[in-house]
Structure 1
Amino acid sequence: MAETTYITVLITAGSEEEAGRIGKTLVEERLIACANIIPKIRSIFSWKGEIWDENEVLMILKSKESLFQQIKERVKTLHSYEVPEIIALPIQLGSEDYLNWIDEVTNDHSVS
């Protein structure tokens, strides 16, 4: 049996309401174990030839690498941005109890 790779997914949203809606949907659909929502971050970026300086909300999601494609596609349908930030980082180490909890509350429909 292959070892599970756990991930942290970072997403920015335009409001706490949008982030909450996305997070709740992903938890309900068992694609993620948890969504932390951090309000009032400042993002400076280039978009369509202009420099933007905006207030955003950062979402930190915990899940499994095997669910990333489903998470990405679902976020694209729920998000208001044309090109939402959806990036994943591997969780290299973690509490066994916490990682087991991620396994318990997420539902991986992929075929091994």
Structure 2
Amino acid sequence: MTEPAWLTVLTTTDSEEKARALARGAVEARLAACAQIPAPVTSVYHWQGAVETAEEWQVLFKTTAARYDELEAHLVAAHDYATPEIIAMPVVRGSERYLAWVSAETAPTATL
């Protein structure tokens, strides 16, 4: 099976302000063509021996597989969580024009 050319990468953080900063930083660095911040979600998870519940903000980044490693490194460096959620989901199909735009906007040589 071949690796997908495009990805949607998901992370979460504990405030809308932080979500906006993560989104803007990745788009400005051309590591993502766009980032979407849906309404807050309620997360329930194990952390340090306890079950926690928290309101978090998701950020969905649209990028290429070629830019994933750089995007992940950027998110790890910019994130204030000790273990941030960073999950890449393959885009198996999509509008040809949209996917071409994602590729163009995340090309390392894209005009700034």
TM-score (norm 1): 0.91
2:10 is matched with 10
Partner Cα separation in structure 2 for residue 95 and residue 39 of structure 1: 25
The answer as to whether partners of 2:4 and 2:90 remain within 8 angstroms in 1 is no
2:22 is matched with 22
- Please tell me the residue identity of whatever aligns with 1:35: A
Structure with bigger strand share is 1
Partner Cα separation in structure 2 for residue 47 and residue 102 of structure 1: 35
- Please tell me the residue identity of whatever aligns with 1:93: R
- Please tell me the residue identity of whatever aligns with 1:42: T
1:95 matches 2:95: yes
Displacement, 1:4?
6.6
- % identical aligned pairs: 35
Partner Cα separation in structure 2 for residue 40 and residue 67 of structure 1: 26
Structure 2 residues without counterparts, runs of 5 or longer: none
2:73 is matched with 73
1:56 matches 2:83: no
Instruction: Could you list the structure 1 runs, at least 4 aligned residues long, displaced by more than 2 angstroms after superposition.
Output: none
The answer as to whether partners of 1:33 and 1:63 remain within 8 angstroms in 2 is yes
TM-score (norm 2): 0.91
1:46 is matched with 46
